[in-house]
A and B are shown apart, each in its own frame.
Chain A
Amino acid sequence: MLDCGLDMTSTLNFLPLPLVQSPRLSKLPSWVLKDGSMFLDKELKECSGHVFVDSVPEFCLPETELLDLSTVDVILISNYHCMMALPYITEYTGFTGTVYATEPTVQIGRLLMEELVNSIERVPKAQSASMWKNKEVQRLLPAPLKDAVEVSMWRKCYTMPEVNAALSKIQLVGYSQKIELFGAVQVTPLSSGYALGSSNWIIQSHYEKVSYVSGSSLLTTHPQPMDQASLKNSDVLILTGLTQIPTANPDGMVGEFCSNLAMTVRNGGNVLVPCYPSGVIYDLLECLYQYIDSAGLSNVPFYFISPVANSSLEFSQIFAEWLCHNKQTKVYLPEPPFPHAELIQTNKLKHYPSIHGDFSNDFKQPCVVFTGHPSLRFGDVVHFMELWGKSSLNTVIFTEPDFSYLDALAPYQPLAMKCVYCPIDTRLNFIQVSKLLKEVQPLHVVCPEQYTQPPPTQSHRTDLMVDCQPPAMSYRRAEVLTLPYKRRYEKIEIMPDLADSLVPLEIKPGISLATVSAVLHTKDNKHVLQLPPKPPQPPASKKRKRVSDDVPECKSLKPLLSGSIPMDQFVQTLEKHGFSDVKVEDTAKGHIVLLQEAETLIQLEEDSTHIICDNDEPLRVKLRDLVLKFLQKF
């Protein structure tokens, strides 16, 4: 199974979970069906024309009905965003296999899960809505609730014990490590350049190679650059995790981010940056590190609030081996690879586990707050939205591309606060994809259906799709796709002594043949050819029969012969070798050569020779050798 991601856009249908009682949210009117029936009034609330479920947010799981997950042997994880559904899979489906991921992926993935669990568990909600999920009811609801897929499969967040149990099933791997799976295939993670420890995977047998390219980046940010060369010669390349915002240039967005931030702060407003606790935030902090002094922001406090803020900042500094070259060399000095260490040391950046405790004492405005969750449905960000939403001096800047910012903001409307959308998505865009495919030249490309056509909102932009030859094969949810290639060869090892005994014969220039007679041993999907066992020495006793029974009997070989025998030359040769009474008769298919004195008959046909000779072994051997002279033997 390739990746195990969680669709969190489902949470956008829910009301935000405030940390402290929010009078505004609790006063929202109930949504009433057109016919006036009120049975959903506890479950659905209306805000500025949108309807939200008033319940603990739920997530949309990967498809679990289509196949029996207990038959999955291995899950390969490509980056920490793509493992968020792991506890649902490893704990509740009978899955007993192994999960492979790099160390940073696991550590940061754990942080993301911890933050998720923490921000949902610390605000327990009494009610859990389920009536609206009834198919008959859902049909009557307004969009987007009406169109939400598989709502019956939506699940509440997992717990920390489940996270720990799931993570304990992960086996850590390093880039370019070759991992044997049951001797049948080898999998190898490669740097994908998108995030700390993010990987593409090669799945290969000795003669076939499938590349799984998921969430890759060619931009130079903090992670190790993408390993493209190792993707070459793929039979199939599965391409996914492209940029969500193909029209936005990440560099430009970072610039816009900085200038909007500076402008707001200079005007005395606060800046809220909803973000994940790891990833782009490292790059943003690095930009700000270079920017704040020149922009005159040195006195503005930067707050990073997350239950895992400290861990995230600390972990980022210890994964030097997974970072880009520049950062790697810093550790040799030794200096911390990320400049946020200095921001923390100089008190410009402060981090807190939550808004409670120390933060409330230190809190000074105007300020910049980085906090989660980017969906604006849970986490400390909900508090800041409520706190700052009423003032037009403040700005919320969206940098994470996973959620539509308009949908994210919907339950906070009407909003006075400025909203700036600077999505920073460093993953491959379509221009980079076609460059990559040209470079790597896979035989077949497989990708999600969405990538094979222009975005629905920009149907004229034919440049915003995967363009390759032969055209990419597409797949969609719950669809089975057959890949257009077959396994044709296996590798087999020939033992040296057996190889020694081979007698190759050049048949055509550059092509030699040799017969191989051997015993095939197959163990753990590895094949070895060995010399046949030696015949057993005859034992002194009379038990010899039984002994020889144990040894596999060895039959004679029928060597291959090829060619045909030219009649005239053959007769000449016979005469040269002393056969004076050669008589030739023609038949329908060839000739019969008669050696009258020897009472011997040789039937010659295009593809066969038949020597009929009685009780004269020397003669038979002689004739055989003469015949063989005209044939190719292997």
Chain B
Amino acid sequence: MPEIKVTPLGAGQDVGRSCILVSIAGKNVMLDCGMHMGYNDDRRFPDFSYITQNGRLTDFLDCVIISHFHLDHCGALPYFSEMVGYDGPIYMTHPTKAICPILLEDYRKITVDKKGETNFFTSQMIKDCMKKVVAVHLHQTVQVDEELEIKAYYAGHVLGAAMFQIKVGCESVVYTGDYNMTPDRHLGAAWLDKCRPDLLITESTYATTIRDSKRCRERDFLKKVHETVERGGKVLIPVFALGRAQELCILLETFWERMNLKAPIYFSTGLTEKANHYYKLFITWTNQKIRKTFVQRNMFEFKHIKAFDRAFADNPGPMVVFATPGMLHAGQSLQIFRKWAGNEKNMVIMPGYCVQGTVGHKILSGQRKLEMEGRQILEVKMQVEYMSFSAHADAKGIMQLIRQAEPRNVLLVHGEAKKMEFLKQKIEQEFLTPLELEFLLLFPLQMSAASCRPTERPPPSSPTPASPWTSPWACSRGKLPQSFRLVSPEQALKELGLAEHQLRFTCRVHIQDPRKEHETVLRVYNHLKGVLKDYSVQHLPDGSITVESILIQATAHSEDQATKVLLVSWTYQVGIPHFQSQSLHPKPPSLLSWTYQVGIPHFPPPQSLPAGLDLPGGNSSFPIPIPPSQLSLLSPGPTRMKSWAVS
């Protein structure tokens, strides 16, 4: 079995800070480079020292892949490439490449300008980092180097989100990033072909949820917004500028139009228009319906939704405000929240997941007294609603994807421990027996305030499951041999300019039989046929008998006519090595034991490969050319084949 190693540098059983190291057939690929929004110290970035303690990132990593523009998947990228130092290729889709630097800059501004932090990446670093990005198309096979290729699949989730297949030779891994198996109002559903990867690394944010129908959730959301606005309350919807925001805007826009509502809807940052513009230019990444109708009506031009001004927050009367960021951890959404939190008429709707440590997470877990900066206590009287609009696959969706891809192993990441355990059982119930899938649960990073060291479990295919990996993996492995050819023995000799040397043995057996020679032969023939039922025994017209390749001839003894001499003649043969190694085991009468009885010489037992010869031992299977003519000799289905490899 191929050996694939996975080391989470960020998200194992945890949401946020996605960063996974995959080693496959000697290639090292880093999947995502996210940050954790719940922390303000070292823990917000993945732990790259795991790699750097043994050398430079660029030397170790063959490439970096970013699945989508959410900061928990790309937020550490400038830190990683510019501050730790990485100069190799970074792959992402075009929309991600377009939007990612804007969100990074946004994040940088909040952290540095508002919180006054130093030792953070700069605007220039974001720009330099983006120069290392290579944009990929959907389904394009990108040849990273001669052996490593990657391919992006549509993932839904957000504009430009992609799943990636990483392939070296016959081994492959699919990393899903975040994905969405049901099309929503602006994005399509994730899709994988039956690529049968050795390992599928899937997110499991909603591992335990089987969400009710999308339509119900939408109705629920509209009802809550409507009720609050009717009673004169204000609705705050913290969102990220891109993604969920657009879907909810489309939803509210059509609702407002249908119900003829007058309450203003605002979108907080200047990003809106720009964000909508991105959606327009990358419309090929949205769902079928929007793509089809965009010429007639652009879904991202809103009539009812206007730009928000800070002063509006104090306006009397109802309003709906979309404000960034989505987890209430900083910025405008947090400011508005503080203003409106004290009034029970108001409502905050959290439309997505909130990372631990954020205000969003605190209020969702029921906390109603929040300690703000400067020891100020904020009492939350407004209604807090959570609506799962986050475009992650639920348990049903994850199962569906597994069904699509038919992986040999599944690895759950980007979720919480308990939920993953639940999903693991569910997957095992459905797939383990029929498909013989193996599953692996990554264990959480052991985190402490000072440092965090990844601990890994070997993948299920690892030959020694007991021993944890100790040292970083070997960086390189010899190239797979390219020049193997499988040819017939005759051709092999011909190509080498050699002639075959026949080695035959003949043994004379004397038997007393006064009958005529051909009668003796017939007796021997009948006897052999009776004894050797499983073998081809033939009586040839020239009077000889063959048992498989063994030839038996009878002649009368020159001096004594009553004595017949049987000449038993055979060529030099060996048993198939595989069977020799099994020879200690009891087995039914086989050719091997029979040949031993008549004394056919053995071939010495196979030696192991000489050291220094770089054959793809247990590492992988590898391709060898064979002539098509060779194939035509063989009927389809399991066929025995005897042949030679010339290197």
Identify the A interface with B (CB < 8 A): 103, 173-178, 188, 206-207, 310-311, 314-315, 317-321, 328, 331-332, 334, 336-337, 487-497, 499-504, 507-508, 510-522, 527-529, 531-532, 534-538, 544-545, 547-548, 552-564, 606-615, 617, 620-621, 624, 627-628, 631-632, 634
Binds A, one of B60-68, B172-180, B353-361, B493-501: B493-501
**Of B198-206, B377-385, B584-592, the one with at least 4 CB within 8 A of chain A:** B584-592
Beyond the given pairs A534-B582, A562-B499, 4 more chain A to chain B contacts, judged by CB atoms under 8 angstroms and listed by A's residue number, are A321-B94, A334-B274, A520-B631, A536-B588
Bitwise interface map of B from 626 to 647 toward A, beta carbon under 8 Å scored 1, else 0: 1110010010111111111111
A-B CB contact pairs (8 Å), 7 listed: A496-B621, A504-B615, A512-B646, A512-B647, A517-B641, A562-B499, A609-B504
B400 contacts the other chain (Cβ, under 8 Å)?
Answer: no
Taken together as a complex, chains A and B put the C-alpha atoms of A537 and B586 apart, in Å, by 7
Contacts of B574 in A (CB 8 A): 556-557, 559
**Residues on the A chain within 8 Å of B634, using CB:** 520, 522
Specify which chain B residues have a CB less than 8 angstroms from the CB of A103 in the assembled complex. Answer: 284
Contact B501 A562 (CB under 8 A): yes
Q: How far is the CB of B578 from chain A (nearest CB, A)?
A: 6
Distance in Å: Cβ of A222 to nearest Cβ of chain B = 15
The A interface, classified by DSSP as helix, strand, loop or mixed, is mixed
Interface contact A527-B142, CB-CB below 8 Å = no
Q: What are the residues of chain A within 8 A of B623 when measuring CB–CB?
A: 206, 491-494
- Measured CB to CB, the closest approach of chain A to B108, in angstroms, equals 18
Once A321-B94, A615-B507, A631-B503 are accepted as A-B contacts, the answer to whether A311 and B625 lie under 8 Å apart by CB is: no
Q: Select one of A178, A337, A562, A609 contacting B493, CB under 8 A.
A: A562
Complex CA distance for A617 and B492, rounded to whole angstroms:
32
Closest Cβ–Cβ distance, residue A545 to chain B (whole Å): 8
B449 contacts chain A at the CB level, 8 A cutoff: no
**Which residue of B has the minimal Cβ distance to A322?**
B137
Q: Mark B429-451, 1 if CB is under 8 A from A, else 0.
A: 00000000000000000000000
Residue from A492, A502, A536 whose CB has the most chain B CB atoms within 10 Å: A492
Q: Closest 3 interchain pairs by CB?
A: A489-B625, A608-B502, A556-B573
Residues of A within 8 A of B499 (CB): 562, 606-607
B621 pairs with A493, CB closer than 8 A: yes
- Size category, B interface: 35 or more
Instruction: For the complex, give the distance between the alpha carbons of A176 and B137 in Å.
Output: 9
Q: Which residue of B lies closest to A562 (CB)?
A: B498
Known: A174-B137, A556-B600. A496 touches B618 (CB 8 A): yes
Assess the B640–A621 pair: CB atoms within 8 A. no
Known: A318-B283, A490-B631, A511-B647. A499 touches B503 (CB 8 A): no
| Docked pose: A627 CA to B504 CA in angstroms | 11
Contact of B282 with A by CB under 8 A: yes
A176 with B631: CB separation less than 8 A:
no
Q: Are A632 and B284 in contact (CB under 8 A)?
A: no
* Contact, CB under 8 Å: A624 / B620: no
Q: Collect the chain A residues with CB atoms within 8 Å of residue B573's CB.
A: 556-559
Interface residues of B (CB under 8 A from A): 1-2, 94, 97-98, 135, 137-142, 151, 170, 274, 277-278, 280-284, 294-295, 485-486, 489, 492-493, 496, 498-509, 534, 548-549, 571-579, 582, 585-588, 590-592, 595, 599-601, 603, 606-607, 609-610, 613, 615-628, 631, 634, 636-647
Find chain B residues with CB under 8 A from A499 CB.
615-617, 621-622
Q: Which residue on B lies nearest to A608, using beta carbons?
A: B502
- Which of A490, A514, A519, A624 contacts B638 (CB under 8 A)? A519
Asked whether, in the complex, the Cβ of A504 is within 8 Å of the Cβ of B609, the reply is: yes
User: Could you say which of B135, B506, B640 contacts A552, with CB atoms under 8 Å apart?
Assistant: B640
Q: A631 to B640, Cβ gap below 8 A? A: no
What B residues does A178 contact at CB under 8 A?
141
Question: B281 touches which one: A318, A491, A538, A608 (CB < 8 A)?
Answer: A318
B503 touches A561 (CB 8 A): yes
Query: In the complex where A178-B141, A538-B588, A611-B505 touch, is A532 in contact with B576 (Cβ < 8 A)?
Result: yes
Whether B502 lies near A336 (C-beta < 8 A) is no
Smallest Cβ distance from A180 to chain B, in angstroms? Answer: 10
A624 touches B572 (CB 8 A): yes
- Contact between B617 and A560 (Cβ–Cβ < 8 Å)? no
Which residues of the partner chain B approach A634 to less than 8 Å between Cβ atoms?
489, 492, 644
Q: Which residue of A lies closest to B149 (CB)?
A: A178
Q: Which residues of A contact B492 (CB under 8 A)?
A: 513, 560, 634
For the complex formed, measure the closest distance between the CB of B536 and the CB atoms of chain A, giving whole angstroms. Answer: 10
Q: Given A504-B609, A515-B642 in contact, is the A490-B627 Cβ separation under 8 Å? A: yes
- Contact status A517-B284, CB under 8 Å: no
A614 and B508 contact, Cβ closer than 8 Å, known pairs A331-B94, A511-B647: yes
Is the Cβ of B140 less than 8 Å from the Cβ of A177?
A: yes
Asked if B590 contacts A175 (CB within 8 A), the reply is: no
Contacts of A513 in B (CB 8 A): 492, 496, 644-647
- Residue of B274, B501, B587 with most partner-chain A CB within 10 A: B501
Residue in A314, A517, A609 whose beta carbon sits within 8 Å of that of B501 in the complex: A609
Interchain CA distance A548-B533 in the complex, whole Å: 12
A535 in complex: contacting residue of B548, B579, B600, B637, CB < 8 Å: B579
Q: Are A176 and B142 in contact (CB under 8 A)?
A: yes
From A495, A497, A515, A552, residue with most partner B Cβ within 10 Å: A515
Instruction: Kindly provide the distance from the CB of B408 to the nearest chain A CB, expressed in whole angstroms.
Output: 14
B501 with A502: CB separation less than 8 A: no
A494 near B624: Cβ-Cβ < 8 Å = yes
Residues of B within 8 A of A547 (CB): 588
The 8 Å CB contact of B295, one of A315, A331, A515, is A315
- B631 neighbours in A (Cβ, 8 Å): 490, 520, 522, 527
B495 nearest CB across to chain A (Å): 9
Contact in complex: A507, B496 (CB < 8 Å): yes
* CB nearest to A104 among chain B residues: B284
Contact between chains at B606 and A503 (CB < 8 Å): yes
List, in ascending order, chain B residues with CB within 8 A of A558's CB. 549, 571-573
Greatest chain B CB density within 10 A among A320, A499, A628 is at: A499
Q: Which residue of B lies closest to A599 (CB)?
A: B508
Establish whether residues B643 and A516, one from each chain, have CB atoms under 8 Å apart when the complex forms.
Answer: yes
- Indicate if the CB atoms of A318 and B98 lie closer than 8 Å: no
Once the chains are docked, how many angstroms separate the CA of A177 from the CA of B587? 51
Q: Is the CB of A175 within 8 A of B626?
A: no
Known: A321-B94, A492-B623. A555 touches B139 (CB 8 A): no
Task: Determine the residue in chain B with the shortest Cβ distance to A632.
Answer: B498
B137, B582, B619: the one contacting A321 at CB < 8 Å is B137
Q: With A and B bound together, what is the CA distance between A558 and B644 in angstroms?
A: 12
Q: How far is the CA of A544 from the CA of B137 in the complex (A)?
A: 58
B585 contacts A537, C-beta separation under 8 Å: yes
Which of B548, B588, B592, B643 is the one whose CB lies under 8 Å from A544? Answer: B588
Residues in B with CB closer than 8 Å to A620 are 505, 507, 599, 601
Chain B residue nearest to A557 (CB atoms) is B574
Complex-state Cα separation, A315 to B284, whole angstroms: 10
Given A177-B141, A514-B644, A538-B586, are A504 and B592 also a contact pair (CB < 8 Å)?
no
From A310, A529, A615, B641 is in contact (CB under 8 Å) with A529
- Nearest CB of B to A554, in Å: 5
Residues on A with beta carbons closer than 8 Å to the beta carbon of B642: 515-517, 557
Query: Which of chain B's residues have a CB closer than 8 A to the CB of A529?
Result: 624, 641
In the assembled complex, how far is the CB of residue A316 from the closest CB belonging to chain B, in whole angstroms? 11
| Given A496-B618, A537-B585, residue A560 in contact with residue B595 (CB < 8 A) | no
CB pair A624–B601 under 8 Å, yes or no, is yes
